[in-house]
Amino acid sequence: MSAEIFNVADIFGEDVFNDTVMQERLPKKVYKEIKKIIEDGGELDLNTADVIAHEMKEWAIEKGATHYTHWFQPLTGTTAEKHDSFISAPMPNGKILMTFSGKELIKGEPDASSFPSGGLRATFEARGYTAWDCTSPAFVRHDAAGATLCIPTAFCSYTGEALDQKTPLLRSMEAINEQGVRLIRLLGNNVSKKVTPSVGAEQEYFLVDAEKFLERKDLIYTGRTLFGAMPPKGQELDDHYFGTIRQRIAGFMKDVNEELWKLGVSAKTQHNEVAPAQHELAPIYAQCNIAVDHNHLVMQTLKKIACQHGMKCLLHEKPFAGVNGSGKHNNWSITTDDGINLLEPGKTPHENTQFLLVLTCILKAVNEHADLLRESAADPGNDHRLGANEAPPAIISIFLGEQLEDVLEQLVSTGEATHSLKGTRLKTGVESLPDFMKDATDRNRTSPFAFTGNKFEFRMVGSRDSISGPNVVLNTIVAEAFADACDRIEKAEDKEMEIHDIIKEYAIENQRIVFNGNGYADEWVKEAEKRGLPNIKSMVEAIPALTTEKAIALFGRFNVFTKDELESRAEIKFENYAKAINIEALAMADIAAKQIIPAVMNYTKTLADTVIAVKEAGADAKVQADTLKEVSKLLADAKKALINLQKVTKTAAGKEEGQKQATYCHEAVCPAMAKLRAPIDELEMIIDKEVWPMPSYGDLIFEV
Ligand code: ADP
Ligand code: MG
């Protein structure tokens, strides 16, 4: 660890080709052109692109860069890159030049055939393009490969279909911009030019010791433990949450922050999370597509720096059964270019027509498309959180808090909201402490979609997943609700009256989605069923939401996805799910057959020898003999479950790829895995720790 002192303000963004760098380096005319495109959209002409590419290359070379890459986000869940060096073909004198053209900046051509396309492309139809997203700044990344200029790009097929996470996200941002501007114009705002979604993603993660990690094949192959008995102590004392950060972790966090700051990621908050060895990092929110890119950088940086500190960062949603899992809270709001947050209620929300219209539109959007939001948070790891025995629940509902719920109730019961609850003074009861004003609303941690002051917090997203999908859905469903409202207001003679009617109507029609109670309680499940809210428990049950007529109409209307693209995405998700479960099942069988069962068999031999020796010595060998019986019984159970798991895994492999295979994995392979795990976790509790072939939960989460 370096002890050098640095000023954050000096290093922040030093590896980013940001506005300051462009202003300094680009000719005025070129700077103005690119700035206009970043703000208003449009196409860059090749001459301008050449000038920018040249300056970008010079700047990157000064930072030590030898290569550039189009950095993109295929449907694998992570990012992809192919590196090209800046060198030109050798000249007659044997020397080379370092070159980078405008064409190379704005367009790349990676082979698309090896990325998931969900049937959109046949293997021989290989052509795919990456296109520069100039609204997300390029950066230089330093690692073992040296320094690389990374250019954020979107990835499309030869025929123009999106093969990535970024293309639909940018399309959805255009949709909400267009409809948002339309809406504020109708409310009398003729000044703001643009409406942009802002996102802040809180990232949860676990850290474990690298040496112990390497002794666990399940962690290596699947990112989560497939076996493991609970240690005597878990998270029941709540002593880890916000606890003092241990020195080893603090050193790690320091390096993570430094690296992220250099990359222009505004890492802001860090703390210990609920579970032992679990932590969280949150940046300051940013424009939606930049926040998505930054979240990828956060995940990659956490992993990289953990290795440098002799640790491994686990981003899986449920690395340890029985211990709190990890998620990613997606904080979302919509802001105009002149800084008006459309989700800011002000002190008296009942008088704030714009806020009430936006809010009730969001109620409508979420109520009508709860299935799509749920789907956007589905990934194989998240199945262990959503709808399982931990939070948030799989049922989408909205928490508004006392103040807004009260306003809504007034609207529903009388058609008119006349007052807003106010925050009261909080009395600390201590003379020397100041009393302060409380918020008008408490928080509710159990809600999957909670209003938190001036933003919505979507809490279902998995810790490992890209936040792109959830934001594509949020942006598009809200764009639709805005568009529907605008259609009506534009046609109405008395616009003010129509706005008033829409607010009232949407509030009444979408009441069922509002729930301020405890989302973890069993009663809520029953109540939600009565209200007709979907309770989609698993990823395989969630995926079909992508291809309903409702979804096809929604995404088609705003040019976010075509029907083909939606079908391909559903296909990819089913395939990804089946692959993930297949890997877990194979890893589990491998570990059981080659590590655990042999160790237990050896142990039974030791026990048997002990029984004989104790008897020969003339003592009572009952405890030894009983233990032997118990262990042998569990061993037999484990062997039987292993044979069954191997059988169903084979059957799964023979199924038709897609929904059928994924459903079989969910319904037959997952339960078979649980059956194998049960006797083995019991064995771990009985057997001598010295002979157990891998570190325990206790070793992993309490000894980092
Ligand atoms: P917590 O919910 O844990 O108390 P914070 O209030 O610190 O967290 O906010 C969490 C995240 O929400 C941060 O990334 C923060 O930047 C982001 N955030 C704050 N305000 C907004 C906003 N208006 N729009 C989007 N994200 C926001
Ligand atoms: Mg939060």
Asked if 641 and 543 sit in the same domain, the reply is no
C-beta 401 within 6 A of ligand 1: no
If phi > 0 it is left, if psi is from -120 to 50 it is alpha, else beta; for residue 91 that is beta
Query: What does the pLDDT look like over 279-334, one tens digit per residue?
Result: 999 999 999 999 999 999 999 999 999 999 999 999 999 999 999 999 999 999 99
171 touches 558 (CB < 8 A): yes
Asked if 208 and 193 sit in the same domain, the reply is no
> How is residue 117 written in tokens?
């396309």
Residue whose CB lies within 8 A of the most ligand 1 atoms, among 196, 260, 266, 285, for a mutation test = 285
Q: Which of 288, 307, 326 is the last residue of a domain?
A: 326
Residue 482 has pLDDT above 80, yes or no: yes
User: Is residue 104 situated within a structural domain?
Assistant: yes
Total H helices, total E strands in the chain: 24, 17
d(CA 357, CA 81) in angstroms, rounded, equals 43
C-beta 330 within 6 A of ligand 1: no
Residue 199: nearest ligand to its CA?
Answer: 1
Domain residue limits at 511: 178-198+337-561
Asked if 159 and 254 sit in the same domain, the reply is no
Q: Over pLDDT 70: what percentage of the chain?
A: 94
User: What is the secondary structure of 243-311 as a DSSP string?
Assistant: PPPPHHHHHHHHHHHHHHHHTT--EEEEEE-SSTTEEEEEEPPEEHHHHHHHHHHHHHHHHHHHHHTTE
User: Is residue 171 situated within a structural domain?
Assistant: no
For residue 519, report the distance from its CA to the centre of ligand 1, in Å.
21
Q: Is the dihedral of CA 193, 194, 195, 201 positive or negative?
A: negative
CATH code for position 159: 3.10.20.70
Count of other CB atoms within 10 angstroms of residue 349: 20
The number of angstroms, rounded, from the C-alpha of 58 to the middle of its chain's C-alpha atoms is: 35
User: Is residue 44 situated within a structural domain?
Assistant: yes
**Which residue's alpha carbon is nearest to atom 14 within ligand 1?**
200
Residue 398 has pLDDT above 80, yes or no: yes
Which residues are CB-neighbours of 108 under 8 A, at least 6 positions away?
70, 82, 129, 130, 131, 153
C-beta 115 within 6 A of ligand 1: no
Q: Which of 526, 561, 596 is the last residue of a domain?
A: 561
Asked if 402 and 374 sit in the same domain, the reply is yes
For residue 331, report the distance from its CA to the centre of ligand 1, in Å.
6
Grouping H, G, I as helix, E, B as strand and the rest as coil, residue 203 is: strand
d(CA 284, CA 660) in angstroms, rounded, equals 42
C-beta 455 within 6 A of ligand 1: yes
Query: What does the pLDDT look like over 62-85, one tens digit per residue?
Result: 999 999 999 999 998 889 988 999
Which residues are CB-neighbours of 460 under 8 A, at least 6 positions away?
327, 373, 374, 377, 382, 386, 392, 396, 448, 449, 470
> How is residue 589 written in tokens?
């069988």
Count of other CB atoms within 10 angstroms of residue 416: 10
Q: What is the mean pLDDT of the chain?
A: 92
Asked if 344 and 424 sit in the same domain, the reply is yes
For residue 285, report the distance from its CA to the centre of ligand 2, in Å.
12
> How is residue 498 written in tokens?
């129509």
C-beta 316 within 6 A of ligand 1: no
Asked if 397 and 251 sit in the same domain, the reply is no
Looking at ligand 1, which atom is closest to the CA of residue 331? 26
C-beta 331 within 6 A of ligand 1: yes
User: Is residue 567 situated within a structural domain?
Assistant: no
CATH code for position 317: 3.30.590.10
C-beta 197 within 6 A of ligand 1: no
For residue 452, report the distance from its CA to the centre of ligand 1, in Å.
8
620 touches 563 (CB < 8 A): no
Asked if 442 and 512 sit in the same domain, the reply is yes
Asked if 89 and 71 sit in the same domain, the reply is yes
Asked if 521 and 397 sit in the same domain, the reply is yes
Asked if 45 and 160 sit in the same domain, the reply is yes
Residue 123 has pLDDT above 60, yes or no: no
Phi and psi at 368, nearest 5°, equal -75, -25
d(CA 502, CA 498) in angstroms, rounded, equals 6
Which residues are CB-neighbours of 222 under 8 A, at least 6 positions away?
316, 580, 583, 584, 587
d(CA 203, CA 282) in angstroms, rounded, equals 6
Q: Is the dihedral of CA 650, 654, 658, 663 positive or negative?
A: negative
How far is CA 417 from each of CA 348, 356, 421, rounded to the nearest angstrom?
10, 10, 11
Residue 200: nearest ligand to its CA?
Answer: 1
Per-residue pLDDT at 430: 66
d(CA 419, CA 349) in angstroms, rounded, equals 8
Asked if 143 and 109 sit in the same domain, the reply is yes
User: Is residue 169 situated within a structural domain?
Assistant: no
User: Is residue 609 situated within a structural domain?
Assistant: yes
Residues by chain with Cβ below 5 Å of ion ligand 2: 329
Per-residue pLDDT at 439: 65
C-beta 451 within 6 A of ligand 1: no
User: Is residue 170 situated within a structural domain?
Assistant: no
Tokens 């607010």 belong to residue: 503
Query: What does the pLDDT look like over 511-551, one tens digit per residue?
Result: 999 998 888 888 899 999 999 999 999 999 999 999 999 99
d(CA 569, CA 37) in angstroms, rounded, equals 30
Beta-bridge mates of residue 67: 85, 148
Which residues are CB-neighbours of 20 under 8 A, at least 6 positions away?
13
Length of the chain: 704
For residue 298, report the distance from its CA to the centre of ligand 2, in Å.
17
For residue 291, report the distance from its CA to the centre of ligand 2, in Å.
15
Give this prediction's pTM: 0.95
Asked if 237 and 267 sit in the same domain, the reply is yes
Within 309-352, residue ranges assigned H as helices are none
**Which residue's alpha carbon is nearest to atom 4 within ligand 1?**
452
The number of angstroms, rounded, from the C-alpha of 695 to the middle of its chain's C-alpha atoms is: 29
User: Is residue 25 situated within a structural domain?
Assistant: yes
Per-residue pLDDT at 118: 79
Residue whose CB lies within 8 A of the most ligand 1 atoms, among 330, 331, 442, 478, for a mutation test = 331
Residue 257 has pLDDT above 60, yes or no: yes
CATH code for position 594: 1.20.120.1560
Q: Which of 296, 326, 356 is the last residue of a domain?
A: 326
Q: Is 432 exposed, middle or buried, given 0-12, 13-18 or 19+ CB atoms closer than 10 A?
A: exposed
d(CA 499, CA 277) in angstroms, rounded, equals 50
Q: Is the dihedral of CA 431, 433, 438, 443 positive or negative?
A: negative
Largest CA distance in the chain: 103
Q: Strand ranges (DSSP E) for 412-471?
A: 425-426, 436-437, 449-451, 456-458
Query: What does the pLDDT look like over 137-192, one tens digit per residue?
Result: 999 999 988 999 999 999 998 888 899 999 999 999 999 999 999 999 999 999 99
Query: What does the pLDDT look like over 225-238, one tens digit per residue?
Result: 999 998 777 677 67
User: What is the secondary structure of 537-586 as a DSSP string?
Assistant: -SHHHHGGGGGSHHHHHHHHHTTS--HHHHHHHHHHHHHHHHHHHHHHHH
Total number of domains constituting the chain: 4
